[in-house]
């Protein structure tokens, strides 16, 4: 039986965004720039007092980070949750989360990189649309296009459409399905756990940073050998920053997915980089390599209306 999809309520001017730190500690100046960007967009920001804890390379112990995350979902005054930073640590929270509470109080959740673990698991366990987009520490230095794309995704009632800024068709075609994906390394680390993502019937998107081509090849080979790629509907590639030659990366992807015959389109501004656009995980879309577009069928949030705050 297919799980019902839950769209979180649209964010409106004056709404409160709660900040969580589910992974690594973060730079104070970058954090403050990101908070200022959210306030300039017309939102209030709630910063928990224990957000700045440090526990080695983590922003607090696992139980502390999980408790802070769940408290924001339980707080009725908080309408959206942004993650302060990625890094590492989000997957350590998965067994500590209350998915029934998250389903009962659906909210916008935004992040990327290591936050991929939370985004895909909450979608998989709760059926809640989550958002692959900037974290607080990247928002302040991000491009205007990135900030406007964030508002379009979480604070408007328009169906979204994306075009790669540097479109490269690796295999032609057209396909539809819910969108799923994020950081390749994080997705691979979920395989073999109770929280592994189910790619069947989905359009998947992949991005990464600082991984040599042979590591990209190894991770994709693992997914292929495990049969996880057999029934994907289509493939999109975001940024692969500091991963070597893009031509080499694209060749690896083309070879890996060649047996599936699905459309593959590269060059989307998703992931690490100033042009990190916000896309909804779990929402149905159509990928078309002829028009080089990713088109969603409906808005990503419920009870939406056009955003009228400051950009």
207 is catalytic: yes
What are the structural domains, with CATH classification, of the chain? 16-154 (3.40.50.10740), 161-296 (3.50.30.60)
> Which pTM does this prediction carry?
0.95
pLDDT at res. 274: 74
The single residue of 132, 189, 202, 272 carrying the catalytic annotation is: 272
Tokens of 17: 């965004």
Residue pLDDT, tens place only, 171-185: 999 999 999 999 999
The single residue of 113, 146, 156, 239 carrying the catalytic annotation is: 113
176 is catalytic: no
pLDDT band at 272 (very low <50, low <70, confident <90, very high): very high
CA 126 to chain centre: 16
CB 1 within 8 A of CB 66: no
**Residue of 35, 99, 34, 26 whose CA lies nearest to 69:** 99
With a cut of 90, say whether residue 71 has pLDDT above it: yes
Question: What is the spatial distance between Cα 112 and Cα 133, in angstroms, rounded to a whole number?
Answer: 6
The single residue of 132, 146, 207, 239 carrying the catalytic annotation is: 207
113 is catalytic: yes
Question: What is the spatial distance between Cα 283 and Cα 276, in angstroms, rounded to a whole number?
Answer: 18
> What percentage of the chain exceeds 90 in pLDDT?
92
Question: What is the spatial distance between Cα 65 and Cα 193, in angstroms, rounded to a whole number?
Answer: 20
CA distances from 309 to 42, 83, 90, 136, 152 (A): 5, 22, 31, 19, 12
């Amino acid at each position: 039986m297919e799980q019902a999809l839950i769209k979180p309520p649209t964010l409106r001017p004056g709404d409160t965004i709660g900040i969580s730190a589910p992974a690594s500690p973060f730079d104070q100046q970058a954090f403050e720039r990101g908070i200022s960007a959210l306030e300039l967009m017309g939102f209030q920001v709630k910063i928990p007092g224990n957000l700045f804890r440090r526990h080695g390379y983590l922003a607090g112990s696992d139980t502390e980070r999980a408790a802070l995350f769940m408290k924001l979902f339980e707080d009725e005054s908080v309408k959206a949750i942004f993650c302060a930073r990625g890094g590492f640590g989000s997957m350590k929270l998965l067994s500590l989360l209350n998915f029934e509470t998250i389903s009962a109080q659906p909210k916008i959740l935004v992040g990327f990189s290591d936050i991929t673990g939370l985004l895909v698991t909450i979608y998989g366990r709760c059926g809640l649309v989550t958002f692959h987009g900037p974290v607080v520490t990247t928002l302040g230095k991000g491009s205007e296009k990135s900030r406007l794309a964030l508002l379009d995704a979480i604070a408007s009632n328009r169906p979204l459409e994306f075009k790669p800024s540097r479109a490269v068709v690796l295999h032609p075609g057209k396909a539809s399905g819910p969108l799923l994906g994020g950081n390749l390394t994080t997705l691979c680390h979920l395989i073999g756990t109770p929280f592994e993502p189910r790619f069947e019937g989905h359009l998947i998107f992949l991005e990464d940073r600082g991984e040599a081509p042979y590591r990209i090849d190894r991770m994709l080979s693992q997914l292929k050998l495990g049969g996880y790629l057999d029934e994907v509907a289509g493939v999109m590639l975001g940024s692969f920053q500091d991963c070597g030659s893009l031509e080499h990366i694209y060749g690896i992807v083309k070879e890996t997915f060649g047996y599936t015959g699905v459309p593959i389109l590269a060059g989307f501004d998703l992931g690490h980089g100033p042009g990190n656009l916000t896309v909804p995980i779990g929402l149905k879309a159509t990928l078309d390599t002829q028009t080089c577009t990713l088109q969603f069928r409906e808005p990503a949030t419920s009870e939406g209306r056009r955003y009228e705050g400051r950009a």
